[in-house]
Structure formats: C-alpha cells, structure tokens
Structure 1
Amino acid sequence: MSALVLSLLTAGFVYLIAGACSGKPEQVTVLASTSIAGSLKSLARSWQDSEPSVNGQCVAIEVQEKDSADVQQALSPDWDTKRNGNAPDVWIPESAAWARMAADREATARLIPDIQPSIARSSAVIAMPKVMAEAVGWPEKKLSWPDLIAMAKDPEGWASDGHPEWGDVRIGMSNPLKSTASLLALLAMIDANGDTDITQEELDAVVLLKNTMDTYEPDDATALMTKMGEADAAGGALAHLSAFPALERDVLMYNSRNPKEPLAAVYPSDGAPEADNPFLVIQNAPWVSAVKQDAATQFRDFVRDKEGREVLLADGFRDSNGNGGPSVSVDNGLSPQITEPPAETVQPAAVTNTLATWTALNRTTNLLFVMDTSDAMGAATTVDGEDTTLLEVAQDAVRIALNMIGSEKSQVGLWQFSGADAGGVPYQSLVPLERLDEGNRASISENIDFMQAGGPSALYDTAAAAYQHVTENYLAEATNMVVVLTAGANNNPNGGLSLEDLTTQLTGTRDPNRPVSLMTIGYGEGADETAMQEISTATKGQYFASKWPGEISKTLLNALFNAQ
C-alpha cells in the first residue's frame, strides 16, 4: 500500500511539474544588441526548458536583436510597433550610456528602472594592429586618447617610434550616435567625470580628435572593423588604420578569424565607461504587465546565475567583477586583468551633451549670428574677478563658438543690432552668409572686435529680417539656424513690429520641408525671457537663459549643439 501511495505521489509530483502552468504562454520581448543577443537566445532556450510560469500562467522569452542606438531613439510611451516592431518588456543596451541618453527625455525617463544590473561587461578600448601596439610598448605601456591624438599630430608619424614604413598615425572613428565604442571613447574625452560640465580643455580635446581623424564612418557602427578586415585580406592593414575605438569583445571576434595582422586592445590609461549590458525591465509603459515583469525578473536572475555567467564568459564577455573567460588572454590581444581606473558613472545630460558636441563639430551648418550691441550690452560686470562688460564677454563666447563649427561646407554670417541707422534699418549685416573658410573666420573675428555697445534695441524687426534672410539662403543638407543673443528687451524708437506681429510672421514664414530654427539667448538679468521664448517657439527653436555672464559661452554652445 505504501509503495502504491509513494508511486501515486511520485507520479502526481511529476505531473504537477510537467503541468505547472497552463494557457498560451505570455511572451516577454527582450530587445538586445547584436553582440549579446546570440548568448541570450541560447540562455532563453535553456530557461524555457524549465517551463517557467507566473502564478500558473505560462511565460516565454523572445530575444530580438536591435541596435542600442535604435532602441534609444524609439523608446517612449508611444512606441510605434509598425515602425519599430514589438515594444520591449526588457531592454539590454550594450552600455548604460544609451539608457542614460533615453532617460534625459522626460517622458522616456519614467520607463527606465532604477535597478540596472549588469549581466556582462566588455571594456571600451583603443584597437590597434598588434605590431603597432607593441611598437608603443603594449601590453606594459598604457595610452590615453589624448596620447594617441598627439601621436597623430606628429608630422613624423610612425617614424618617431622607429617605423617610417608605416607612414602617418591614422585614427578612425564611427558615429557615436550609432556606435557604443565611439560613444564611450567620446565620453572619456569630453566629459570624463560625468559631471555634464564640458570644460574648454575637454572641448579642445574633441576638436583635436575631429581634426586628426583620418577616417570617419557616419552610417555604420561596424564599418571600421569590416573595412579593417578587408584591408587585412588585401595585405594593407598597417596602411589602413593605426587605431580606432572598439569593445574588447570586438577585438576578440576579429582575431578569431585569424587575420594576417591581428589587433590588440589597448586599455585607456585614464579609464573609460564599460559596455556593461544592463538588464532593464521596462516600467510605467502602456504595454507593461505584472506577469511580464515577474517573468523578466526570473529570466534576469537565471542569466546572472551560474549557467548564464558560464555562457557569457565563454562568449568573450567579462563578469561583474571584471573577470573574463579563457579566451580573454594576451594571446588573443586582450588583457586578462584590467588595472585601469573605472570611469565615473555618467549622468543623462553628460551623454546628451557629449553627442550634441560631436554632432555640432561634424555636421554642416548654415548659421547667422545676430548680436545685440544696444546700451544693455554695455553694462559693467565681473567675470573671474576681472571687470568687463556684457558685450566683451559675449564677444569671447562667439569666438569660442565659431571654433566649434567644424564642417568645411558650413556657412556662417554675422549681424548686429542696436536701433535704427540713418536709413531706418534696425540692424547691420557685418559678414554675409559665406562658406566658413579662413577668410570668413578672420572677417567674423575682426568685426566682433570692433563692436561697441550703444543705442536702443530693435529686437523684433531684426529677428524677423534675420529669419527671412536665412530662409531665403537655405542650405540643403545642413542645419539652418539663426542665433540671437540679447541682453535687453525690444525698445525700437521707430515702432516696428509688435511681438504678436513678429510671431505671426515667423509662423507664416516657416517651411517644415526647409526648416530654419531661431535660437534665442537671454543674457543677463534684463533680458525679456517671455518674448524670446515666444519667438523661438514660433520657429520650433529653443530659448536659452544665461543669467550670469560667466555662463554665456556654455549657453551659446548649447544653443548651437541643440539646434535640429
């Protein structure tokens, strides 16, 4: 009898396990980057074999590959399934930097959880042909990105390291709006401490990078590795590129194909954010359910447990302690132990500012600077303990901003306004919209130097004329914008446009197929913020406040970087 009971109990126990859930499985969609999606698909199959459930409801995991940059752009409470496919219940970007960028949008921030555990890590490195890395002391000697930029600036090139046959030190870069490795490299240079305050020194570093780049891949995040492989197959790897941003796992995968010239991963001596593959269970979204969140959490715990760690280590990743599997070795171009300092956790605004800076440096811009030179700009002020005027501080800010416009196809012009001259025109065109070559830069700098404050402010009439001028001189495939910097309010002695007239005119002039943004900067305490907000809104532009004179340079750069 006892044997029969035991048999029935055992049979019942087996039956309960086999039938632990019922109904069509509730599907949990996991969007993961290509680099880790293969490992996660394998783990999802293993987890599915355990017949997972939530409160008796069967659940299933479907891992889909989607670039981190694409998810970052698309993620919102209004996820478009027709354009982007299934909405994510879980998002695993290559780096938390992508999540930080998404979190910098108010509506999207609510979707990003506070708990962001890493499931695998891959360091951001400088990828170099191994023989070149050895020539500069790898693996013992460390390099930073500024060190590498200095090498690229050296006119002797590789001759300085005893290899004139290699020619120049050639740096490659992928678009950081698409490439995790390039994004992390830029963060290390532009805002290494993640404090969102991009200093002049940091700006100078990225300008140097831009000016020393030999190759730039704007459209394909994997193009640098692909073209390096093609050059290697043709026997020209050393003449192709000397260094470029990569993730150490990318280096491992490249070397696994036995190239003629394998790569080495040089770990930046000043540290860099890691590609930490955070497991983000989406919250507060219309498609979220408690069942899916519970199932996602179960899968996360499985991935972070022993079997999951073993699979990810075998696939070339490191664990949360920085330990790699057997393939993470010097023989494969990697360092088994990372001794470089970890980078600071970046803030959402730091990522956004970094990308905005890079975008401004590399895009083509059609820009008209419009500077207030009325009485208000002559106000005395103090910056860094030195007596000056609002105009003098603004002049310095425009000079700095001018150096941040990098594309040779860009056009820049300069106006000033301070009431009406004898002919009744409330502004002066000092430098026409022309290609930003050495002559144009010199002309703008010279005219800035000769500006003097005095007279009333015909802000409204000037804004209308400037916007019309850029609209009529629209430059295709460029960011077209007017930047108006003023310390006062409209007080045109000749009357002129009212604020209502101006906004009506701007709205009527704006062509959504040929957009021009009017960016306004309110400088100092006397600026008419309400008016400038309305002016910018009429053109889909933005208003920026700079209450303190010392902030004007950063404020002006923000206006340039954030124009669409």
Structure 2
Amino acid sequence: MGRRHAAADVSYPRWIWIVAAGTVVLLILGGAFVLRMLIFPAGPEGNRDAGGAPPAGPPLTQDSPASVPGNPPCISLNILTSLENADMVRALAAGYTAKPRSVDGKCVTPAVSQEESGAAAGKVAGKFSGMAAGDKPSIWLPDSSAWLRIAAAADGGSPVRQEGTSVARSAIVVAMPETMTAALGWDKQAPSWSEVFKMAGEQDIWARLGHGDWGKFKFGKASPLVSTAGLMALTASYGAAGGSAGGVDGMDLHAAPLVDKVRAVELGTSHYMATPEHFLWHARQADDAGRVSEFLSAVIVDEKSVWDYNRGVVSEDGKTKHSGPPPKEPLKAIYPQDGVYIADNPAAVLEGDWVGSQLRSAAQDFLAFAVTQQGQDVVKASGYRSAQGAVDAGVASTGQYDQTLQPLPLPAAEALAAIKDSFPEVRKRARALFLLDVSDSMVQEPGVTKLQRAKDAVAKALEHFAGDDEIGLAAFSHEGDGPLQPGIVTPVAPLKSNKEDLISKLNGLQAVEATPLFEAVSRFASDQAKEYKDTFINSIVLLSDGKNDTRHPGDLGGLSEQLSHQNHSTPVLVFTLAYGPGADVATLREIARSSGAHYYDATDPSRLEEVLGELVTSF
C-alpha cells in the first residue's frame, strides 16, 4: 500500500507530461501511417480518386518490358475498339511500344481500328465474315461489357466470351449546360432517372421557369443500336418504367404494359443521333453562336465526353477530333441519385481460328501492360477513371466528375439483347419528308446515274421505319422561270398506308433542270412546321448533289434564320446529305446546323446507301 501511494505522489515537471503525451500521439499516428502504407502504397497523385481517397484494391503492378526488343518481322496485333475510347487505346498502344517488347522472340506492332460498338458487335458475332484473316482483330475492346454479352449470346458460336479485362471506367451521365442545371436545382440535388425522364416529357418547362427564350426542353439520346450511351439510356428507360433502375433483370421486358410505359418515356426524346459525339458537336456550334439552348437542354453521354467537350474537343463524325478553346458555357455531368451505368471498357482476346498462339501471346502481353501502373496512368490521362476507380484530379475538375459513383448492375445478355432489339418498337416515331434534288446534274454521268442511286438508297432506307412512322416524298427543280416542280410527290402519312405509292412515285421521278435549293427547303420546312406534331420527331431528309443554282430568289442567311426560329418552338430537323463531289458542302452544313440536325457526307457516291442508312437509324 505504502509503495503504491508513494508512486502516486511522485510529482514530474509539466514539460515531461507534454513530451510523453506527444510521443504517444506520434506512435499512434505512425502506426496508422504504416498500416495505411501497407494497404495503399504511395503512388503518383493522379492515382487518387476525385475526392482524394486512394483507390480500392491491391496496388498496381509495374510494367516489365523486355530487356531487348524482339526481332522483326514484328507480330501485327490488330485491336478493334469503339469510337469513344479509340484515343485512349491508341495512347496505350504508344505507351506499350515505347518500351522494348518481345513475344516468342519477335517485336509487336499494335494497330488500332475503331467502329461503333453495336456495329462491331455484329461483326464479332459473325466472325468478321468476308474479311481476310490477317486483317481480323485479335483484341476487341468496346466501351462496355454490354456488347461482349450481346455478341457472345449471338447464334453461330461467337469468338468472344461475355466478360473481358476492364482497362478503364466511365460513367454514363446526363449532361446539361450549367445554367439549365442550376435552373432545375439539379446542381444542388441530383434527380433520379425517373425525374430526368419526367422532365424531358415536360417540353414547356423552361417557359414555366421563366426562361421562355430557351425554347422547348430538348433531350437527346444516341442510338442504342450502335452506342453504349444510347443502349444504357434505353436500359434506364426500362428501369424507370418498371420502377427500379437497378432491377431490369427481374422484369418481363416483353410485357405489353411495360413496353407501353417505355414508349411513353421515349416520347420525351427530341431526337436520336448515332453517337453522343454528334450531339456534342452541335452543342458546341450553338455555344459558339451564343445560344447553346437552341440545340440542347440535356443529353445522355459518357462522362469522358463531358471532359472532352469542356476542354474544347469535339467530333462531327465520332472519329476525327477537333480541338479549340473551351466552350463559353461548360456542361455539367449529372449522376442520377439511384445510380449510373458504368462503361467498363473491357478487352477481350478473341477465340477465332485466325488468332494463333503467337497472336494470343502478343494480345495477352499488351493487356498485361494496360493494367499496370504505367498503363493506368495512360488511362487516367485520357480522361477515364482507372480500372480501380481512380481519376486524375485535373480531369475530374474539368469534366465535373462526381467524387463517388453508385454503379447500377449491368443486365444479363438476354435482357440487353431484348432492350436493344426493342428500339424499333419503343422509339419515338418519325415524321419525315424525303426531299430529293432532281436537277439535271443528277443524270449527267454514264451508267447508273446519281438519280437512280438516290432512288435505290431511299427505297432501302424505308426499311428502317415502322408502319406508324409518317413518311412522305418531295422533289425539287424547275425549268426556266417556271415554278418549283414536282413538289410534293407523296404526302406525309403513315408508312403502312403509303409505302407502295411512295416507292412507285419515287421510281417515276425524272430529272428536270435547275436547283432551287433554298426555295425548296424553306417551303417544305415551313409546311412541316405548320403540321408539327409533338409526339413525333419532325424532320426533312434532304439529299442534294449541287448548290443553289436557280433564277428564283432566296438566300442562305434568310433560310438559316427561318430554320433557327422554327427550331425554337416547332423544331423541324433538316438532315442534309451531300451527294457526289459537286455538292455544296458548306451550305448543306449550315442548313443542318441552323435547324438543329446533322450533316452527312456522301460525296463519295458509292457510300450513299451506307450513309443514308446511318442517317435514318438516328430517328
């Protein structure tokens, strides 16, 4: 007892107690630091996510190049990727070849090609029929496992499995101009997917919020037949219609009540385009003119595309990138509160008989590099989250990425295929007038004339429409000072009732003389606006091989003003297609731009059917 009391009564100087306490704290913090370093080894600052937290999972391995490069001739490693991630994959290829590589004693030369994911999936499922074995890819790297699943489930023994190696991640988001996001309060509180689709259906919302100068709520979606963003947008429509964003696998996707609800959701779509890049190209053009609201209120895209747009990079065709200054008004990436789908950029080594053991080894060597620290640094520098979820802080700031993600489960192959295949049934219907140039230049060539090629292409394009799409045909030319002729050939009406008449009269068209381009577009766009229907995508498909060559009055400035004014309240989209090398490309671009539509290039006449097919599948 006395010994304990003596110890308790010992009195130490105050500074000793302070030092002792500090030592304990340092020991605790040091232990925590050591523990943290054991779990998350130190790495480049870019290896942290947007919130500053380290990525989950084990540390990345380091690249292990060969000590000396392999001997030529090099192994040609063909890699097929999507339009969206082609720049990243090319950067990975450059990073890979920057160091010595040796597979079976040979050097490796990656060659990257790009194609819309949906189109690529069809070619993969068909084992690249008709392509020489040496040209077929050994690696397929679409931007989502959705396409691996769809291709793997196709009949005929697909050369791809349902899962691949994820090399990058990008969330599918709703992108909106910042002022519009703030007007809805979505900059403070993210909406659910159901709320997004409900807002899209209220096309007069801007007027009700005191922004009548913004026109209608213009909501764009890419085609789910070819685009990941489009497929995930339609999947989100099914989730919203079925009452569960993440429960699509448990739904009867063929049930009539659900399909009807999805069809109602799709009515909020202003129009579809082949890829998100098409929308962002036009948004940037509208931004340059100071009125981004004239073209876009919201569009569903991948977040990496928002980063591209906000730093001044856009693409008219999804393939060729154009860099400029940042836009006047950046886009805000909105992450619906019930979760987002993730484009996981999976790489799959194909299993076709054209992929021998040497090619397979080269493919595996490339993919091993892609998931190393060095490969993932390339991924993050390209605007993506790493496979582990880390993102470069500068990228996150420019793209306005959310710090955390709430991923939605990707549906199974059967559900994805059913959703994709349902698009022709559930999409918003088109009210389209095909407007065909029948000037004499359309027949001034030997053999099959441009006019005959155009007739064949239009007839083929009609196969992409449903019976309750409303389709019509008009043509334009004139003789001397005479009136525009022949004008309306077949009035716009449900295709199920007028298809036979339309094709018959299409085949009977004859070339006349002049090209009253401005008069024709002005007249028929005005007529379409007068008969505007909210529940349809109102449009004109203009196909011309020349320029405004006529004695009739008219000017491009006045036409552009008319189309822009119509686009504000009764948008009639004038999709223009330049046919043949003599087409006035600049004028046709301006007509499409001012109406809020897209220009398509078929100046190579042999591509007319392909290009027109791409155009009409955007409805």
Unaligned runs of 5+ in 1: 1-15, 366-403, 411-433, 441-469, 478-564
Aligned position for 1:393: none
Aligned position for 1:214: 270
Match of residue 35, structure 1, among 68, 84, 92: 84
Correspondences of 1:109-148 after superposition (within 5 Å): 109=158, 111-113=159-161, 115-148=163-196
Segment drifting more, 341-350 vs 35-44:
35-44
Equivalent-residue separation in structure 2 for 1:405 and 1:103 (angstroms): 31
Equivalent-residue separation in structure 1 for 2:132 and 2:271 (angstroms): 32
State the secondary structure of the residue aligned to 2:112: strand
Equivalent-residue separation in structure 2 for 1:354 and 1:157 (angstroms): 29
State the secondary structure of the residue aligned to 1:172: strand
Aligned position for 2:398: 332
Matched-pair contact (CA < 8 Å) for 2:141–2:346: yes
How far residue 119 of structure 1 moved from its aligned partner, in angstroms, is 0.5
Match of residue 63, structure 1, among 67, 90, 112: 112
Segment drifting more, 267-276 vs 239-248:
267-276
Aligned position for 1:203: 259
State the secondary structure of the residue aligned to 1:44: helix
Equivalent-residue separation in structure 2 for 1:68 and 1:84 (angstroms): 21
How far residue 160 of structure 1 moved from its aligned partner, in angstroms, is 4.0
**Closer, same or farther: CA 17–247 of 1 in aligned 2, 3 Å:** closer
**Closer, same or farther: CA 169–84 of 1 in aligned 2, 3 Å:** farther
Counterpart residue type for residue 403 of structure 2:
Q
How far residue 140 of structure 1 moved from its aligned partner, in angstroms, is 3.1
Q: What per-residue deviation string (whole Å, max 9, x for no partner) do you get for residues 92-127 of structure 1?
A: 001111222212212253x11355121011110111
- Equivalent pairs: percent with the same residue? 29
**Closer, same or farther: CA 35–213 of 1 in aligned 2, 3 Å:** closer
State the secondary structure of the residue aligned to 1:58: strand
| CA RMSD after TM alignment | 3.3
Matched-pair contact (CA < 8 Å) for 1:194–1:347: no
State the secondary structure of the residue aligned to 1:313: helix
Matched-pair contact (CA < 8 Å) for 1:171–1:244: yes
Equivalent-residue separation in structure 2 for 1:472 and 1:184 (angstroms): 33
Counterpart residue type for residue 102 of structure 2:
S
Equivalent-residue separation in structure 1 for 2:299 and 2:132 (angstroms): 32
Match of residue 412, structure 2, among 347, 351, 357: 347
Equivalent-residue separation in structure 2 for 1:225 and 1:173 (angstroms): 11
Equivalent-residue separation in structure 2 for 1:332 and 1:251 (angstroms): 8
Q: What per-residue deviation string (whole Å, max 9, x for no partner) do you get for residues 349-407 of structure 1?
A: 21221122211234989xxxxxxxxxxxxxxxxxxxxxxxxxxxxxxxxxxxxxx9762
Aligned: 1:299 with 2:366: yes
Correspondences of 1:216-365 after superposition (within 5 Å): 216-217=272-273, 219=274, 221-257=276-312, 258-283=326-351, 285-329=352-396, 331-339=397-405, 341-362=406-427
Matched-pair contact (CA < 8 Å) for 2:172–2:343: yes
Equivalent-residue separation in structure 2 for 1:125 and 1:84 (angstroms): 38
State the secondary structure of the residue aligned to 1:212: coil
Equivalent-residue separation in structure 1 for 2:86 and 2:398 (angstroms): 22
Correspondences of 1:55-204 after superposition (within 5 Å): 55-76=104-125, 78-80=127-129, 82=131, 86-109=135-158, 111-113=159-161, 115-154=163-202, 156-191=204-239, 192=245, 193-195=247-249, 197-198=252-253, 199=255, 202-204=258-260
Number of corresponding residues: 364
Equivalent-residue separation in structure 1 for 2:132 and 2:104 (angstroms): 33
Counterpart residue type for residue 341 of structure 2:
P
**Closer, same or farther: CA 161–25 of 1 in aligned 2, 3 Å:** same
Counterpart residue type for residue 358 of structure 1:
F
Counterpart residue type for residue 182 of structure 1:
G
Q: Which structure is richer in relative contact order (CA contacts within 8 A, separation 6 or more)?
A: 2
Equivalent-residue separation in structure 2 for 1:245 and 1:286 (angstroms): 38
Equivalent-residue separation in structure 2 for 1:116 and 1:149 (angstroms): 32
State the secondary structure of the residue aligned to 1:287: coil
**TM-score normalised by the chain length of structure 2:** 0.53
**Closer, same or farther: CA 241–471 of 1 in aligned 2, 3 Å:** closer
How far residue 224 of structure 1 moved from its aligned partner, in angstroms, is 0.8
Aligned position for 1:45: 94
How far residue 435 of structure 1 moved from its aligned partner, in angstroms, is 6.0
**Closer, same or farther: CA 84–260 of 1 in aligned 2, 3 Å:** farther
